[in-house]
Amino acid sequence: MQIAPRPQKPTLSSPSTAAANTLPQQSPAASSARPQESGFEAKSSFVASSTRPLVALTAQTAAPVVAKPGPLELQSPEAQAAVRKSLEFIQSQSSVNNQGIVAGGRTPGSFSPRSVTRDELGMTHVRLDRTHEGVKVFGEQVISHLDKEGKVAGLTGSSSTIPAGLGSEPVKLSAQDALAIAQKQFAGNTDASRPPSAERVVVQDKDGQYHAAYHVQLTNVEDLRGDERPRRMNYFVDANSGEVVRSFNQMGGIELPHADEAAAKGAPAAATPTSKPATAGTAATGPGNDTTLYSGKVDISTTKQANGSYTLEDSTRGGGIATYDAKNRTTPTGKAALTDKNDVWGEASDDPRTKAAVDAHYGAAMTYDFLKDVLGRDSLDGKGEKLVSYVHVDRNYVNAYWDGEKMNYGDGDGRTAGPLTTLDIAGHEIAHGLTERTAGLIYEGESGGLNEAMSDILGTGVEWYASQKNQAVEFDWKMGEDAWTPANGTGDALRYMDDPTKDGYSIDNYKNYPKQTEVHGSSGIANNAFYLLANGGTNRTSGAQVADGIGMEKGLKVFYRALEHYMTPDTTFAQARQATINAATDLYGANSPEVGKVKESWAAVGVN
């Protein structure tokens, strides 16, 4: 489904920083940083220097200009001026706090600009990656917030002291040595299209100790076998001892780890879902005569080819939306088109496989429209990034995932799930791309739980948005319910935002976090905080009640603004609370009821 007159939408990009001592590599995984809890004041933990910016800054400051919200090119005069002011401010805070002391003749730290974004309030936000003695510090960022007058109003982020020499002293291992160690742990094939990479970094292990290390990335999404899941593994190999001091998989999927257990117990057989009753046309143009599995009758935008057939390629939104057939291969490559002779998709005479593709295409369109109409963002990168989906990935595949470039949808196994192309699943997985291009939340620990929660929140937002345009779409607080065991008639789901504990796996309160740290299970903390903020209700574990919510649109705007401007790659739940308070303060005022409800909702889930 689409909407009548569709306004344009914006997004944010996060360019990669230059790396020292690297092998040829793919786009680096998002680095992580920890915002300070105040989110708006410099702390004595900042170590800053303006000596190594990645962008050459001009001597003169550009004249003020009135510009629309969105990402700025780093080389533009406006961005350079914002970066310069940010670095100068950080340096002044470091000097005041006696953090600018040179150790052994070397500057202990510096920051390199990653992205500059102007928001709809006229504020400018500068993301800066930390480096130490010329080497990138994995996962540490600072965000500088400039007011409408261009003055630095505050900082988000903090940095611990790093021992001298970790970036500059010789190390015993080469990048190739580190790669060999990581490949041994990976124990599998890697994608030819995404070659392994090894980048020299400084990294903090889980005990808080810093290491001179190599960040090795190994990816396998193209040669999955059996029950293998897609992997984009990140290994941190100590550059002297060869020990793997940290590792995580940045790529997940919609299916919960415990779903396999449910299947093993014999979940009810899942017949192929039937379409919901047709409703009136819901798109911007056309009669709404395309049939989906899950969303009734819709009107999708397509392209007519020279031979008179139509393909699932939409050129009306940003850089486009395209949906292709993976032909049940584990390696979705090429552009195998799904075609239709009369541009009436999913009718009785069509191949039954077509309907899942219509859902995926519709889901991508609704996600694009949601980002633009509700959040004011032009696709994932803020510049109209093309959204590409592949359906019919592998055989009997109970998963859907974002691989860093495109969407991949399995058809389900006919028992636990049907095709995983529902609106909320599409929104969830595409939102992983949005998170990558904004905060870059690392997919482990508390930041990993927040990563999953943001996808659930935004995926639910897509379903909510579409339900206002299409009467066949039912908005609820469940995740993936239309595809999950669709034949058992109970309306069960993968996750429940109103009561995360209902799935028997997720937690809804931070006090239980030590018992459940897996990212899908811990996502229930922030999921329930969002539910309480938007809707009101009671947290099952604490019994705390939020009397009334602020509504879906306001709640979505608060969480999205927090993600885009106040969260950094290793944000914790407590820091996410402060990020949403900052966002609500920007939008509605420090003493507003909205800020009060943000605080109430997080307190209810045990985050203070």
Pull the structure tokens for residue 343: 């541009």
Cβ contacts of residue 470 below 8 Å, gap of 6+?
Answer: 1, 279, 282, 295, 296, 298
**Active site includes 520?**
yes
Quickly list DSSP for 503-571. Answer: GSS---SGGGGGG--SHHHHHHHHHHHHHHHHH-EE-TTT--EE-----HHHHHHHHHHIIIII--TT-
Segment holding 95, helix H or strand E = helix 77-96
Give the integer Cα–Cα distance in Å for 430 and 449: 17
Catalytic option among 222, 429, 436, 463: 429
> What's phi and psi for 399, nearest 5 deg?
-170, 165
Quickly list DSSP for 312-380. Answer: SEE-SSTT-EEEEE-TT-SS--S--B-EESSS-TT-TTS-TTHHHHHHHHHHHHHHHHHHHHTT---TT
Number of Cβ within a 10 Å radius of residue 228? 14
| DSSP state letter for 254 | S
> What's phi and psi for 122, nearest 5 deg?
90, 0
Taking phi over 0 as left and psi of -120 to 50 as alpha, with beta for the rest, 404 belongs to: left
Give the integer Cα–Cα distance in Å for 9 and 365: 12
Q: 315 near 303, Cβ under 8 Å?
A: yes
**Active site includes 594?**
no
> What's phi and psi for 298, nearest 5 deg?
-135, 175
Give the integer Cα–Cα distance in Å for 446 and 204: 15
> What's phi and psi for 468, nearest 5 deg?
-80, -15
Cβ contacts of residue 498 below 8 Å, gap of 6+?
Answer: 477, 528, 531, 535, 537
Catalytic option among 211, 215, 432, 520: 520
Q: 549 near 555, Cβ under 8 Å?
A: yes
Catalytic positions = 429, 520
